[in-house]
Amino acid sequence: MDEKEILEELHNQDWDSIILRTTNYVKKRLGTFELIKGSKLFARGSSAQDITFKAIQLLFDGERKWNKKVHPELTQHLISTVNSLLSNHFNSYEGVNRTIIYEINNDLEFESFWDKIISDSSPNELLEFSETYNECLKIIEDDLDLSDLLLYITDGYDRKEIAKMMNKSIAEIDNMKKRLRRKLNNELSIRKAGISK
């Protein structure tokens, strides 16, 4: 595919959906980071929109080329770029007097965002993260299925393995995961808002 065809393909994308979904993803990531690190300074004044637009710009500038074999959907590719940008934000946030620069590491793995954050955290922070996790277990302690699901997820089992162990279909596990994610994010946000008051 030559550059002209690539450009036409980009032109024909459903940009409304891409912009909305990517921004929502960034917002959630920033929110979770704020939740666990307790700081709004992480993004250094960059909004979720800014980060989404930067990822789009890098795509068109050719600095982050879309590889459809790795990410069949453009949104997935942009999410991968966003993770690199957020990882750079994190480096900048952690460093003293460092300026935010959008250096993109194309080798950065999709999952490495949390790897980086966790491996760079102090023992006290790790303890706080564990407490957040335990808080989540308490939130769902009355629902045995959700409690089991969270334990399996954190142990690293995939949806097929979990479905087999819980004697449920994969679709049921997917729905349970969505329900669990919403419940935990909502409850944690409410509790955090309560603390900050």
- Interaction site with another protein (CB under 8 A): 3-4, 7, 10-11, 15-17, 19-21, 23-25, 27-29, 31-32, 36, 48-49, 52-53, 56-57, 60, 75, 79, 111, 114-115, 117-119, 126-127, 129-131, 133-134, 136-137, 150, 153-156, 177-178, 181, 184-185
**What amino acid occupies position 58?**
L
In the chain the first and final C-alpha atoms are separated, in Å, by 55
Taking the complex as a whole, how short is the minimal distance between the CB of residue 139 and another protein, in angstroms?
Answer: 12
Report the C-alpha gap between 18 and 79 in whole angstroms.
10
Closer CB to another protein, 61 or 107, in the complex: 61
- H helices then E strands: how many in the chain? 9, 0
Taking the complex as a whole, how short is the minimal distance between the CB of residue 69 and another protein, in angstroms?
Answer: 19
Taking the complex as a whole, how short is the minimal distance between the CB of residue 83 and another protein, in angstroms?
Answer: 10
Report the C-alpha gap between 27 and 21 in whole angstroms.
10
Taking the complex as a whole, how short is the minimal distance between the CB of residue 48 and another protein, in angstroms?
Answer: 7
Is 43 within 8 Å of 51 (Cβ atoms)? yes
Choose among 61, 74, 72: nearest CA to 104. Answer: 61
Is 143 within 8 Å of 187 (Cβ atoms)? no
Closer CB to another protein, 3 or 142, in the complex: 3
Closer CB to another protein, 1 or 99, in the complex: 1
Closer CB to another protein, 57 or 106, in the complex: 57
Taking the complex as a whole, how short is the minimal distance between the CB of residue 68 and another protein, in angstroms?
Answer: 18
Choose among 26, 33, 31: nearest CA to 94. Answer: 33
Closer CB to another protein, 13 or 106, in the complex: 13
